Structure 1
Amino acid sequence: MDKVGIGIIGCGNISGAYLKAMTEFFPILDIRGVADLNRDLAEAKASEFNLQARTVEELLADPKVEIIVNLTIPKAHVAVGLQALDAGKHTYSEKPLGINFAEGKKLAEAAKAKGLRIGAAPDTFLGGGHQTARELIDQGVIGLPVGGTATFMCPGHERWHPNPAFYYEVGGGPMLDMGPYYITDLVNLLGPVSQVAGFAVTPRKERIITSEPRNGERIPVHVPTHVAGVMAFANGAVVQIGMSFDVAGHKHVPLEVYGTEGTLIVPDPNRFEGPVGYLKKGGQFEDQPATLPYADGNYRSIGVADLAYAIRSNRPHRANGDLALHVLEVMEAFHTASAEGRTIKITTATERPAPLSESLVDGRLAK
C-alpha cells in the first residue's frame, strides 16, 4: 500500500509521543516535515527524530503531504485545520476538535464541502484494552448496559507540565482536556449520547505553577475546573461523570460499565493497554487480559494511521470528525447545563466506530 505523506504542525509536549509511534509502528506514514511557530522547537524535534524542520507554508504547499496532523494548542485547532482544508489536505488534530461546538461544526462543515476528511484525538479507544471491553459488551457478556461511571480527578496539570497556562484558558479545563478520552471511549462502548445534565464550578481564580521552568508563576483561571454530570445514552444507559483539576486524590477507577448481567472495569482511557476487569453477576472480579492488537504500548497516532489506511482503502476512518464533533457537543453541554440549570439535548448523531480486531500494519483491516 502506497505511503501517505504527513505534515506535522505543532512541536509541543505531545508531539514526541506522536512522532515516536509514527516512526516505530506505522510504516504507511511518510513524515514530510515538522513545523512550529517557534522555529527552535521545530528544529529540535526534527533533529530528535531525523526529520526536516519546515514552515507551515511549506507543508501546506507540498503536494506529497496528504494529511496535516495538527498538534497546536486547543485555541488554534480550528484555524490550523481550516488552513489545511483550504490547501486541499485532510486534517487530524489533537483533542478537542475545537474550543467550542460552533467552531468544531465550522470545521466539520468545511471538510464536507471540500470533500476532505477530518479526524481528531483521542485514539486511545483503539487500544487493545478498550477494544477487548468493546468486544465483551458486543458479545452480551454484561447483558443489557444500564449505566457506568467515568472519573478523572487530580490537583491540576501545573504540577508537571512545563507550560500549563493553556489548560486554564478557554478551550481548556478538565472537561475539554480529559473528557475527550472518557466520553470518546464511552461512545465506542455504548454509542452516542442523547442528553446531558451537570454542574461546573471554578473554586480558584488563579493557580500557582510548581513545575519547571515557570515554578512560582501565577496564572489566571478562565474555565470551570470541577465538573460533575450525567450522560443519558441513546441505548438507554445512564453514566455519571466527574472531571476535576481540584481534587487532591480519590479511589475511583477511571471507567466502569454496568449491565444487567455483569460489570466491566475498563482500562484508563488515556492509555491503550490494561486488563479489563469483569464481574459476572453473583461472582467476583477477574481480569480479562487484552487479546486484541495495540495493547502493549503507547500507540498515540494510531488514529492518523487508521485515517491513512482508510484513504488508501476508501473506507471510513474510526477517529473521525463526526465522532469528535459529537464528543465536543457533549462536553460543552455540561457547561451549558450548569449555566442554564437545565438538561441539554444533544443535536449531533454519530455511529460507533467500527471495532479494531486486527493489526492495521499487516493489511488485515478490521471489518
Structure 2
Amino acid sequence: MIRVGVVGASGWADSSHLPALAALDEFEVTAVATTNQVSADRAAAAHGARHAFADASELIAHPEVDLVVVSVKASGHAALIRAALDAGKHVVSEWPLGVDADEARELAEAATAAGVVHAVVLQGHHAPSARFVADLLADGRIGALESVALVAEGAPWGGNRIWPDLVFGLNPSEGTNILTIMAGHFLAALERVTGPLTEVSARLPRTHDRVLVAGTKRTVPNSTPSHVLLHGLLASGATASVAVHGGNGSAQDGFRLMLVGSDATLTATPTQPGTFIHWGDWDIRIGDEALAVPEIYRNVPANVRFGPPANIAALYLEVAQAITEARQPHPSFETALRHHRLLAAIEQSAADGTVRYIS
C-alpha cells in the first residue's frame, strides 16, 4: 500500500486526484494539506484521511506519507517538489511542472538526483481514445501519416473577460495561461497520438490588453496570449497545424482532430460536446466508419471511467507499477521537461518569427 499526501486537496485535486486515488487498492490517502486548517479538516473528513495540515511542510515530513501529490498553482510547484525530494518522497506533480522550461529542468535534475519516482499529470498520455488512435496509426490503418490538423477551444482563457479565481494567470510569471495549460495539455495529447513535433513556427496573438473580471466592472491588465497558432513538422515527417482559440466561459464544441494518411483520413471529435481533448472519449471515424474504443484500453475501475479522474487513475496505476519495478513512470519529470521545451520553442518562434527546433 502506497501512502499518499495531497497538497492542494480543496482545489482541483478534490474532483480529480482524490476520487482517482479512492478507487485504487494500491493507494491510501493518509494526509491532506490546504491553505488553512478549517478547509484541511474538511477535506480530510470528506476523503477519509487521518491527517490534515495547513502547513504543507508538515505533510511532506510526515512518516505516514510515501508519495506527495502537488496540486497547487504552478508558481507554487517548485518549492513543494524540492521539499518532497529533500525528504526522499516520491512525487506526482500537476502540469505544468514549473513556471517555465528552466525551472522544469532544475526540478527534473533534482528528481533524478533524489532517486525517487516522479511523475507529471499529462492526462492525454493515458486517455483511452488517444492510446487507441495511436495504435491505429501504428498499425497502418490510414497508411502513412501525411498531415495533422487540430482545432481546439482554449476557453476560459484568452477572452475579453476572466473568472475572478483565474486573474492571477494573466501574469506570465505564474505559468498558468492558454499556452501553458490549454495548449500544453492539448499538444501532449496530440503527440501521444502522432509522435513528437520536431520543429515549429508559431504565433501568440494577444487580442486583449485588458480584460473584464467576470461579475464586476473592474478590468485588469493582461500580458498573456489570447490564441495559440502553430505549424510544424513531426518526427515522422508529417506536417502539423494547431489552432487553440481563446474565449469566454465554457468550451462549446471542444476540438476537432484530423489525421490525413496516404490511404484514408481519421477524424476525432468529443463524444460529449465541449470536452477537452485530454479529458473524455472521442468520436473516432475513418472515412464513414465509426470506431469504438475497445474495452482493453480502459484499465481503471468502473466508478472512475470518465473524465479527469479516469486518466489520472491510469497515471497512478503506472506510478504504482513503477515503484514496484524500481523504474520511472511515464510521463515522468523528464517527459514534462520535453513538453516545457516545446512550449518554450513556441514562445521563441512567436517572439522573433523564426522556425524553432525541439530536441
Normalising by structure 2, we get a TM-score of 0.85
1:305 paired with 2:317, answer: yes
Distance 1:278 1:294 in 2: 25
Mapped contact 2:75–2:99 kept (Cα < 8 A): yes
For 1:115 and 1:234, the matched residues in 2 are separated by: 31
Equivalent residue number for residue 201 of structure 2: 197
Match of 1:11 among 9, 12, 22: 9
* 1:288 aligned onto 2:296: no
CA distance in structure 2 between the aligned counterparts of 1:186 and 1:154, rounded to whole angstroms = 15
SS at match of 1:332: helix
Q: Take 2:217 and 2:294, find their aligned partners in 1: how far apart are those partners? A: 43
User: 1:264: how far off?
Assistant: 2.4
Which residues in structure 2 correspond to 1:158-307 (within 5 Å)? 163-170=165-172, 171-210=175-214, 215-246=216-247, 253-266=255-268, 267=270, 268-279=276-287, 284-291=288-295, 292-294=297-299, 296-298=305-307, 299-302=310-313, 303-307=315-319
Corresponding residue for 1:332? 344
Give the Cα separation in 2 of the matches to 1:308 and 1:237.
35
Distance 2:111 2:293 in 1: 39
The CA distance in 2 between the partners of 1:252 and 1:50, in whole Å, is 35
Query: Hey, what's the Cα distance between the residues in 1 that align with 2:110 and 2:332?
Result: 14
Cα displacement string for residues 138-194 of structure 1 (whole angstroms, at most 9, x for unaligned residues): 211111112212222255358785611133222122110112222112222222221
**Following the alignment from structure 1 to structure 2, what is the Cα–Cα distance between the partners of residues 173 and 49?**
30
Conserved? CA contact 2:127–2:278, under 8 Å: no
Q: 5+ unaligned residues in a row in structure 2: which ranges?
A: 271-275
Indicate conservation of the 8 Å contact 1:192/1:234, yes or no: yes
**In structure 2, what is the Cα distance between the partners aligned to 1:162 and 1:47?**
28
Aligned AA (2:77): H
What does the per-residue CA deviation read over 1:251-270, in whole Å, with 9 as the maximum and x for residues that have no partner?
A: 68333322212222345423
Whole-angstrom distance in 1 between the partners of 2:311 and 2:38: 24
Q: Which amino acid aligns with 2:316?
A: V
Q: 1:195 to 1:68 in 2, by over 3 A?
A: same
Query: Structure 2: how far apart are the matches of 1:8 and 1:80?
Result: 11
Shift of residue 289, structure 1, vs aligned partner:
3.6
CA distance in 2, matches of 1:169, 1:300: 29
Alignment deviations for residues 237-259 of structure 1 (CA, whole Å, 9 cap, x no partner): 22111123247988683333222
Q: Distance in 2 between matches of 1:88 and 1:224?
A: 38
User: 3-state SS of the aligned residue for 1:153?
Assistant: strand
Contact 1:192/1:233 (CA < 8 Å) preserved in 2? Answer: yes
| Partner in structure 2 of residue 322 of structure 1 | 334
Cα distance in 1 between the residues matched to 2:67 and 2:163: 28
Contact 2:4 2:30 in 1 (8 A): yes
Instruction: Give 1 or 2: higher helix fraction.
Output: 2
Q: How has the CA–CA distance of structure 1 residues 145 and 45 changed in structure 2, closer, same or farther, with 3 Å as cutoff?
A: same
Q: CA deviation at 1:15?
A: 1.2
Question: Structure 1 counterpart of 2:19, which letter?
Answer: K
Partner of 2:273: none
Residues 8 and 70 of structure 1 are in contact (CA less than 8 Å); yes or no, is this contact kept in structure 2? yes
Taking a change above 3 Å as real, the CA distance of residues 127 and 100 of structure 1, as seen in their structure-2 partners, is same
- Corresponding residue for residue 74 of structure 1: 74
Which sits farther off after the overlay, 245-254 or 121-130? 245-254
Closer/same/farther in 2, CA of residues 219 and 160 from structure 1, 3 Å limit? closer
Aligned equivalents of 1:200, 1:329: Cα separation in 2 = 16
Name 2:31's counterpart in structure 1: 33
My pick for the range that moved more, 304-313 or 95-104, is: 304-313
Higher strand fraction: Structure 1 or Structure 2?
A: 2
Structure 1 position 346 matched with structure 2 position 337: no
Q: How many residues align?
A: 337
The alpha carbon displacement at 1:88 in A equals 1.0
Query: Structure 1 regions of 5+ residues with no counterpart?
Result: 348-367
The DSSP-based 3-state class of the residue aligned with 1:208 is strand
Q: Where in structure 1 do 4 or more consecutive aligned residues deviate above 4 Å? A: 157-162, 247-252
CA RMSD, 1 decimal: 2.5
Deviation of residue 216 (structure 1)? 4.3
TM (norm. structure 1) is: 0.83
Q: After superposing the two structures, state which structure 1 stretch, 37-46 or 320-329, moved more.
A: 37-46
Alignment check: 8 A CA contact 1:153 1:247 kept? no
Residue identity matched to 1:210: A
Structure 1 residues 58, 233: closer, same or farther in 2, change over 3 A?
same
Residue-by-residue CA offset, 1:115-142 (whole Å, 9 max, x unaligned): 2232212224312222211221121111
Kindly indicate whether the alpha-carbon contact (under 8 Å) linking 2:68 and 2:84 is maintained by their aligned counterparts in 1.
yes
